[in-house]
A and B are shown apart, each in its own frame.
Chain A
C-alpha cells in the first residue's frame, strides 16, 4: 500500500513535470486515444492501475479458476492450438480434395463450410437455392454427399468442426452415420457443430425456426451427445459474427456469454444437470487488429464464464467453468484494396489469438474480401500460424502478457462493462427477449454505424482504403465456383432419390413429424433414422417447418 502511494506520487510528478513540458511543445497526435472498440487509453500504465491485491482472485494461475490465464496449466508448452482452416466449396468431391490437401500441408483438424441452402435447410433443387448452390461452401443434400465429403478421411483420426446451426442436428446425424459406415463408433467421434441459433437471429441470418423449437432442438442435441457422442462439442457459442456485424469487443463478449447463459438455462429447465453437458460447450471469438484489446478480451471472457458458471449456475466440475474457444481472424478487417496487406493484418490477429490462449484458430486468406480464397492464399494463411507457433517464441510460456499494467487494466475494464450488459439483458428477461425486442441488434448497429462514420471522416485510418491509397489493377486469379454446379447437384439428388427405398424414407419422415409435435421426445434418434434412409436435408427441414413455422426477422434500422 505504501508502495502504491509512492508510485502514485511519482506518477503525478511525472505528469506535471516531464509530460506537460513535452506536450506544450509537441502536442500528441490526438486529444483522446481509444482502442479499436472505443475504450479510452491512458498515456502510460503503471502498477497503481491494477490492484495487485485482487491478483489471486481475478488473475491467478493458468488451468485454475477463474481461468483468466488459460484453461490448461501448460497451454502451448504441452500442445499447440489446433490449426483449423474453414473450407468447402462446390461439390463434395471438390471439397474432399481441398481437405486432403490441407491435411497434407500439416493442418490438424477439419472445418467444414456448407453452402447457404444447406445452412438454411433447402435442397439444391429448391427455388430458394438459385444462384447459391456451392457458392460459400459445399452443397449437402443427402447422406450420399456426406459420404463423398469424408471419403478416405478416417473419422476416428480427425476432429471435424461444422459450421451449421438451424439444421445442426441433421448434419450431425449424417456425420454419425458416415462414421458407422467407416466402422467408427459414436464415442470415438470428435468435433464441433456450431449449433448456436441465437447469434443467427442477432447477426448471421441462417435461422429457420422460431426460438422455442430451435432451443428444443439444441437441448435434444446436448442430451443425446452427453450419452452417445461424449467427445463432441455440442455447440460453439459464437461472438465471431456479432463482431463481424460491427459490435465492439465488449459487446462481443457480453452478447456471446449472454447467449451461452440462455442455452444453459434452457437445458437446466429441460431437466439436465449442468455438469452433465456444460463441459461440452465451446465458444468462438473473433480476432481484430487492436492486439492488446483482443488479448484482454479473451482473458476477460474466460473469467466471466467461470464466474457465472460457478456462482450463478452452481456448476461443481471445474470443466464446466472453462471457456474453451476457437478463434477466426476478422473477416471485416480485410480490405479489397492492396489485398497483400491483409497478410500482415492476419499475422497481428494470429498473435492476438495465441497470446489470448485460443484452443484452435482459423486464419483468413488475403483475398477473402474479394472471393473465396485460392489454394496459394490458404497456404500463406496456414503458414502464418505455423510461423507464430514455431518461430515467434510466444508459445513458450503461458499467458505472457499477464502482469502488463495495460493488459490487466483492459481485462478488468472489459470484464466490468460486459457484466453490466449481461445484467441488463437478464433484467430484460434473457437473451431471447432482448433479441425479440431488437435491443441487441440495435446496440450492434449503432456501434457499426459509429465505426464506419469514423472511417468516412478519416478519424480511423484503414491503410489502403482511406489513406496510403494507390491506383490498382483489378486482381486476377480469383477462385470461381462453376455456375453449372447446381445442375450437377440437382441431378445427383434426383439419382439418390430414385435409388433409395422411398417407402422407408416416408416412414422415417412420418415418425419424425409425429415426434416433433411432442415436446418431450428427443428428436436426434429419429433424425438419424431418416438420414440413414437418405432422406434429404430439405425433406427433413420441411417437415419441421410444417410443425414449427419459420422465424421472421425483426428489422431495426
Chain B
C-alpha cells in the first residue's frame, strides 16, 4: 500500500514579515513529498484556521519571529478545537525562547523547532504522527 500524501499548512500568524524560514520549510517539505500550502505573511488566527479547514490539512506549522507566539499559537489551537478540528496537529518554529516551549506544549502545540533545526527533525516528527492522522 502506498503511503497517503499528508497535507501540511505552513502559516505565518502575527505581523512580522520574516518569511525566510517559513518558505524554506514549506519548500523543503514539498521536496520531501508532502502536499504543502503556504499562507503568506500577516495572517490572523481566524484566517489560518479557516484555511486549515478548507484545505483539510493534517498539520499546521506556525512560524513567528516577533515574540507574539505565547498569545497567537494557543489562540490557533483553541480555534481549531472550537471548530471540531482538534485532531489537526499544530507545530511551530521561529525565534522562540526555550523557556516558553513548555507553556506552548501545555497549550497544545505539539512540537517547537528553534533556529538551526535540520529539516530531517521536522520530517521525523511528521512521520511519527502519521498513524495518529490515519486513524
Which A positions have Cβ atoms within 8 angstroms of B?
116-117, 119-120, 127-132, 135-136, 200, 203-206, 244-246, 332, 335-337, 369-372, 445, 448-449, 452, 456, 462, 465-466, 474-475, 478, 481, 483, 553, 555, 557
* A122: min CB distance to chain B, Å: 8
Q: How far is the CA of A532 from the CA of B98 in the complex (A)?
A: 44
* B123: min CB distance to chain A, Å: 11
B15, B24, B28: the one within 8 Å of A132 (CB): B15
**CB distance B115 to A369 under 8 Å?**
yes
User: B1-49: which have CB < 8 Å to A?
Assistant: 14-20, 23-24, 26-28, 30, 36, 38, 40-42, 44
Do A370 and B97 form a contact, CB below 8 Å, given A136-B67, A557-B26?
yes
Q: How far is the CA of A337 from the CA of B60 in the complex (A)?
A: 26
- Which residues does chain A contribute within 8 Å of B114, judged by CB atoms? 336
Give A445's nearest chain B residue, CB to CB: B23
Give A205's nearest chain B residue, CB to CB: B17
Give chain B's interface residue range (CB within 8 Å of chain A): 35 or more
- Which residues does chain B contribute within 8 Å of A557, judged by CB atoms? 23, 26-27, 30, 36, 38
Q: How far is the CA of A204 from the CA of B15 in the complex (A)?
A: 11
**CB distance A205 to B26 under 8 Å?**
no
30 A-B pairs whose Cβ atoms sit less than 8 Å apart in the complex: A116-B66, A120-B15, A128-B15, A128-B44, A129-B15, A135-B66, A135-B67, A200-B17, A205-B42, A244-B18, A244-B20, A245-B20, A335-B116, A336-B115, A337-B116, A369-B95, A445-B23, A448-B20, A449-B24, A449-B28, A452-B24, A452-B28, A456-B119, A465-B116, A478-B97, A478-B99, A553-B41, A555-B38, A557-B27, A557-B38
* B16: min CB distance to chain A, Å: 6
Q: How far is the CA of A135 from the CA of B97 in the complex (A)?
A: 14
Given contacts A135-B68, A553-B41, 8 further A-B contacts (CB under 8 A): A116-B14, A120-B15, A204-B17, A336-B95, A371-B67, A445-B27, A483-B71, A557-B27
Which among B23, B28, B115, B119 has the greatest number of chain A C-beta atoms within 10 A?
A: B23
B126 at the interface (CB under 8 A from A): no
B72 at the interface (CB under 8 A from A): yes
Do A206 and B17 form a contact, CB below 8 Å, given A135-B67, A456-B118, A481-B67?
yes
- Which residues does chain B contribute within 8 Å of A478, judged by CB atoms? 97, 99
Give B30's nearest chain A residue, CB to CB: A557
- Which residues does chain A contribute within 8 Å of B118, judged by CB atoms? 456, 466
A130, A370, A481: the one within 8 Å of B72 (CB): A130
A131, A206, A336: the one within 8 Å of B68 (CB): A131
Q: How far is the CA of A65 from the CA of B61 in the complex (A)?
A: 51
For the complex of A and B, 6 pairs with smallest distance between CB atoms: A205-B17, A131-B68, A131-B71, A474-B98, A116-B15, A135-B67
Do A335 and B115 form a contact, CB below 8 Å, given A131-B72, A135-B67?
yes
**CB distance B98 to A448 under 8 Å?**
no
- Which residues does chain A contribute within 8 Å of B69, judged by CB atoms? 131
**CB distance A136 to B97 under 8 Å?**
no
Q: How far is the CA of A132 from the CA of B71 in the complex (A)?
A: 9
Give B69's nearest chain A residue, CB to CB: A131
* B7: min CB distance to chain A, Å: 15
Give B42's nearest chain A residue, CB to CB: A205
Give B71's nearest chain A residue, CB to CB: A131
Q: How far is the CA of A54 from the CA of B20 in the complex (A)?
A: 40
Do A203 and B24 form a contact, CB below 8 Å, given A128-B44, A336-B115, A371-B97?
no
Do A205 and B41 form a contact, CB below 8 Å, given A116-B16, A456-B119?
yes
- Which residues does chain B contribute within 8 Å of A332, judged by CB atoms? 20
- Which residues does chain B contribute within 8 Å of A445, judged by CB atoms? 23, 27
**CB distance A553 to B40 under 8 Å?**
yes
Give B10's nearest chain A residue, CB to CB: A557
- Which residues does chain B contribute within 8 Å of A205, judged by CB atoms? 16-19, 41-42
**CB distance B68 to A132 under 8 Å?**
yes
Q: How far is the CA of A332 from the CA of B41 in the complex (A)?
A: 18
- Which residues does chain A contribute within 8 Å of B14, judged by CB atoms? 116, 131-132
Give B23's nearest chain A residue, CB to CB: A445
* A482: min CB distance to chain B, Å: 11
Q: How far is the CA of A151 from the CA of B17 in the complex (A)?
A: 31
Q: How far is the CA of A467 from the CA of B18 in the complex (A)?
A: 26
Give A119's nearest chain B residue, CB to CB: B15
